[in-house]
Chain A
Amino acid sequence: MTTAQPLIQARGLVKRFSGFTAVNAIDVAVRAGEAFGFLGPNGAGKSSTMRMIGCVSPPSGGELRILGMDPVRDGPAIRARLGVCPQLDTLDPELTVRENLITYARYFGIPRRVARLRAAELLDFVQLSERADSKVEPLSGGMKRRLTIARALVNEPEIVLLDEPTTGLDPQARHLVWERLFQLKQQGVTLVLTTHYMDEAEQLCDRLVVMDGGRIVAEGSPRVLIEQHSTREVVELRFAGESQEPFVSKLEQLGERVEVLPDRILLYVPDGDAAVVEVTALGLHPLNVLVRRSGLEDVFLHLTGRTLID
C-alpha cells in the first residue's frame, strides 16, 4: 500500500432515491495515477456513484472525500479539477464542435485566448480537427463521444470520470478512445471509469470493483479477480440434442465448477486440454469443443449472475 492520501475516498457511501437504494454502503479508495474501474450490470449503482464523485449528486449517507475535500461544501473547487464524461452526451447542440470546447472552458474561468488554443489541441488529440466548425448534431456517435472526452479535458483535470465511455461505439471508435485514455494515463491523469465491457476493463483498469445491486461484490486487479473467482481456463462443450442437462452429472467431477447454458456447458478447469482428454475418456462426444483462457467476463457473470436486469 502506498502512504499517499487517496484522491477519492468513500466509506459506507450511500445513495438513496425515493423508494430504493442505488448505492448501498460502499468503500472505495482511488489513488493518484491509477485507472480505476466500476464494473457491473445496468442498475448496479455505477452511475449514481460516479455522479456523487462528480459532485453533482449529494450522498445520502456515509463519507466521501475527493482531493481531500467535501463534495457538498467544496463542490466548485473540486469540480474545477475534475473532467467528466457523462453516460449520455450533454453537448451543446446550438454550438459548433469548436465552440462547445471554448464555451465549456469559459465555465471554468479559462481566458478565451487560452481556451481557443486548448480547443485546437484537444480537437487534434481526438481527431476531430476537420469537423471543428460543424454543428454537433450531424456528428456520428463515436465523434460525439470523442468530443465529450475532449470537453472533459479542457480544464486539464487531475481526475477524469468516464461513465461508459465506449458504449454504443463501433470497434474503430472504441480503439481510438482506448488509445487516448491510455495516453492520458501515461501522462499521470487518474482515470475512473464505469463499463460493462470486460475487454475494456481488462485493457484499461489497474484495479476495479464489481458492483451488483448497489454493493461491491469483488475488488482487485483484473488478474487477481480472475485468479480468485475463476479458473485458469474454460472448456466450452456443445452436445447434440435438445438439452445439455443429461451430460452435467458426468462432467461435474472434471472441473471446479460447471455451468449449464441453454446451448452449451462451461467447464471451469486449470488445464483445458487435459480436461478435453478426460471428457473423451468418459465416452462423451460433444459436437463442439472450445478451450479458452478465463476472462473477466467469467468473473463478472459468476458474481452478478446471468439473469437479465433492466
Chain B
Amino acid sequence: MVALVLPRLMDVSAASRRSASVAERNLSALKSIYWLLLVSGFIEPLLYLFSIGVGVGALVGDLTLPGGAVVSYAAFVAPAMLASSAMTGSFAETTFNFFGKMKYMKLYDGVIATPVQPFEIAFGELAWAMLRGSAYSGAFLVVMVVMDLTTVTRAAVAFPAAVLVGFTFGAIGMTIATFMRSWQDFDLLGSAQFVLFLFSGTFIPAQAYPTLLRWLVEVTPLYRAVHLIRGITVGGSGWTWLLDIGYLLVVLAIGLFIASRRMSRLLYR
C-alpha cells in the first residue's frame, strides 16, 4: 500500500514544486513598468464604482433585490465591480501575457526541456494570475468596507469567493489563449469581455431582461460570479450560492483540463 501510494504523493509534491518554479519566474520578471500595469488594473473598477455606482446611483436611487432586500445602487454595483476586476486581473495574465510568453517569447519551449511539464506550466501561470487577481480583490474589498458598502465579516467571506472567481477566469483565459492565432484575436476577446462586463447583471439586474435573454445572461460565468459575490456582500440570495460555486468549480476544472491538453499538443510537437 505504502509502495503504491508513496510514488503518487511524490509525484504531486514534485508537480507542485515545479508549478511553483513557473510562478517564481514571474516574480523575478517583475519590473517597475509591471507595477504600473498592476495599479491600473485596480484603479479601473474603482473609477466605474465612483462614476456609475455612486454618480449614476444618485439618480437611480435604491434597488429592491429579488430576495426583498433594499440596497443603494452603489452597494448593488460594487460586488459586480469586484467580480469583474477579478476577471480582468486574471484574464490579463492568462490571455495576453500567457500568449506572449508562449507564442512570441517562446518561453515555454525552453521550460519543457526541463522536468517541468505543460500542465505544471498551466498550474504555475494560473497560480500567478491568481496572486494578481487576489491582490485586486483584497484592495477593492477594503474600499467597499471603508465606503460602508458591505461589512467586514461579509468582506472576509467574499475574499475567497473572489479568489475562486479569479481562478475560474484564469482557466478560461488560458484555454482561450491556446486557441489564439495572433494579436488581432485579442480585439475580439476584448469586445467579448466588455459585453460580459456590461450585461452580466453588473449594472442592471438580470430580471430586467426578457426571459430568453435573461437565461442567456444567467449562464455566463461572469453573471454567476457577480451573483455569488453580491449574495455575500449584500445578502439575500438564499441557497443559490451553492449553484454559483459548483458552476465556477466545474468551469475551472474543464478550463484547466483543456488548457493543459492544448499546451501539450502545441509544445510537444
A residues neighboring B (CB under 8 Å): 17, 51, 54, 56-58, 75-77, 79-80, 82, 84, 86, 88, 90-95, 99, 102-104, 106-109, 151, 155
Q: Are A109 and B18 in contact (CB under 8 A)?
A: yes
Residues of chain A contacted by B269 (CB below 8 angstroms): 17, 51, 56-57
Partner of A86, one of B110, B114, B117: B110
Instruction: List 16 other contacts, CB 8 Å, given A86-B113, A107-B114.
Output: A17-B269, A51-B269, A57-B268, A76-B14, A76-B18, A86-B110, A90-B106, A92-B29, A94-B105, A103-B24, A104-B110, A106-B24, A108-B114, A108-B115, A109-B21, A109-B115
Query: Is B28 an interface residue when CB atoms closer than 8 A count as contact?
Result: yes
Query: Is B112 an interface residue when CB atoms closer than 8 A count as contact?
Result: yes
**CA–CA, A52 and B42, complex, Å:** 45
Q: Are B115 and A76 in contact (CB under 8 A)?
A: yes
Whole-angstrom distance between the Cβ of B259 and the nearest chain A Cβ: 18
Please classify how large the interface on chain B is, using the bins under 10, 10 to 19, 20 to 34, 35 or more. Answer: 20 to 34
Q: Can you name 24 A-B pairs with beta carbons within 8 Å?
A: A17-B269, A56-B112, A56-B267, A56-B269, A57-B269, A75-B117, A76-B14, A76-B117, A79-B114, A79-B115, A82-B113, A90-B109, A90-B110, A92-B25, A92-B105, A93-B105, A94-B105, A95-B29, A99-B28, A106-B21, A107-B21, A107-B114, A107-B116, A109-B18
Indicate whether A80 sits within 8 Å of B115 (C-beta atoms), given known contacts A57-B269, A103-B24: yes
User: What secondary structure prevails in chain B residues at the interface with A?
Assistant: helix
**CA–CA, A23 and B225, complex, Å:** 50
Partner of A107, one of B105, B111, B267: B111
Q: Are A54 and B113 in contact (CB under 8 A)?
A: yes
**CA–CA, A92 and B18, complex, Å:** 17
Q: Are A92 and B268 in contact (CB under 8 A)?
A: no
Whole-angstrom distance between the Cβ of A56 and the nearest chain B Cβ: 5
**CA–CA, A57 and B269, complex, Å:** 5
Whole-angstrom distance between the Cβ of A71 and the nearest chain B Cβ: 10
Whole-angstrom distance between the Cβ of B45 and the nearest chain A Cβ: 27
Q: Are A56 and B113 in contact (CB under 8 A)?
A: yes
**CA–CA, A54 and B113, complex, Å:** 7
Whole-angstrom distance between the Cβ of A59 and the nearest chain B Cβ: 11
Whole-angstrom distance between the Cβ of B92 and the nearest chain A Cβ: 16
Query: Is B213 an interface residue when CB atoms closer than 8 A count as contact?
Result: no
Query: Is B8 an interface residue when CB atoms closer than 8 A count as contact?
Result: no
Partner of A109, one of B17, B107, B113, B117: B17
Residues of chain B contacted by A54 (CB below 8 angstroms): 113
**CA–CA, A210 and B171, complex, Å:** 46
Q: Are A92 and B110 in contact (CB under 8 A)?
A: yes
Most buried by B among A56, A77, A91, A103: A103
Query: Is B181 an interface residue when CB atoms closer than 8 A count as contact?
Result: no
Which residue in chain B gives the minimum CB-CB distance to A109? B17
Whole-angstrom distance between the Cβ of A102 and the nearest chain B Cβ: 8
